[in-house]
Amino acid sequence: MKLHTPFALLTLFFAALLAPTGAFAQQKLVPTQSSIGFTTKQMGVPLDGQFKKFDAQISFDTAKPEAAKIAFTVDTGSATLGAPESDAELPKAPWFNVAKFPQAQFQSSSVKSLGSGKFQVNGKLTIKGNSKDVEVPVALAQANGQTTATGQFTLKRLAYKIGENEWADTSMVADDVQVKFKLVVTGMGKL
């Protein structure tokens, strides 16, 4: 016990030295304040859905945004359209095939500052084993020690085989899906 104490103190010291600067700190997602929604159209009828479970690993130095790394996982089984009838379908093979692909991933490849808290994040989005390059505009806003990242982008569901076979008909369910997110993170340096 005694022998370990100085080492533990040393560790704490370095941890304390590194953490508050934010330089290489890992930011933490606040899931309860964050949301990922999606909207598509079924014969013109807007359908709004949500993913209830997701996580992010964010390493974002505000002084060096181009070095930022953003990784994302979304539990495909947590998708809901708010209606029991359609929610029963989403996990099935033609849609998210949750049994085989329980998670969708995003991994950033580059982050570019566009000024005034706006960034362009490029990366790979993988859903159902299909990877596509996506470009995501992100706006950051800070208040009370928290940073809120918001943005939206459009993806083509058929590129990821979301809605196969009889559901591939885009006159029934549109190919375009708007993804809208609001992510609250802590531990980010001042913009």
Residue 139: CB atoms within 10 A of its CB come to 13
Q: Does 175 bind another protein (CB under 8 A)?
A: no
First-to-final CA distance of the chain: 42
- CB of 33 vs another protein, minimal distance in Å: 22
CA atoms lying within 13 Å on the CB side of residue 144: 2
Tokens in use for 29?
């997602």
C-alpha separations of 146 from 6, 83, 91, 151, 188 in Å: 34, 33, 33, 17, 7
- Contacting another protein (CB under 8 A), which of 11, 21, 33, 42? 42
Q: Does 89 bind another protein (CB under 8 A)?
A: yes
- Contacting another protein (CB under 8 A), which of 86, 146, 152, 178? 86
Given the rule CB under 8 A, which of 45-53, 58-66, 125-133, 181-189 is the region that contacts another protein?
Answer: 45-53
**# residues near another protein by CB under 8 A:** 18
- CB of 95 vs another protein, minimal distance in Å: 11
Q: Are 163 and 94 within 8 A, CB to CB?
A: yes
- CB of 165 vs another protein, minimal distance in Å: 10
Residues near another protein (CB under 8 A) are: 42-48, 82-83, 85-86, 88-89, 166-167, 169, 172-173
